[in-house]
Amino acid sequence: MEYTRADLINLDTIEQSWDGDELKIDDGDIRVWLTSRGNRMYNGDYTIETRVDGKWNQESHSFNN
């Protein structure tokens, strides 16, 4: 699944991590984090976490626009 910056910015922030990333989607098996400006060079624009066999796997993404 791909998101735009506007998609994620317009969602309410569920939680904010210690480094400033904002949790925007959490359905129990998928979490989507909007990366803070200072972390983008390391983590991309947003991170999708998926739960597989009880473990969270992370995948960084960049906006296409």
- Enter the pTM of the model: 0.89
Q: Which pLDDT belongs to residue 2?
A: 84
- Strand, coil or helix: 31: strand
29, 51 Cβ separation under 8 angstroms: yes
The half-sphere exposure of 27 on its side-chain side, counting CA atoms within 13 A, is 5
pLDDT < 50 regions, the chain = none
Q: 59: exposed, middle or buried (C-beta count within 10 Å: 0-12, 13-18, 19+)?
A: exposed
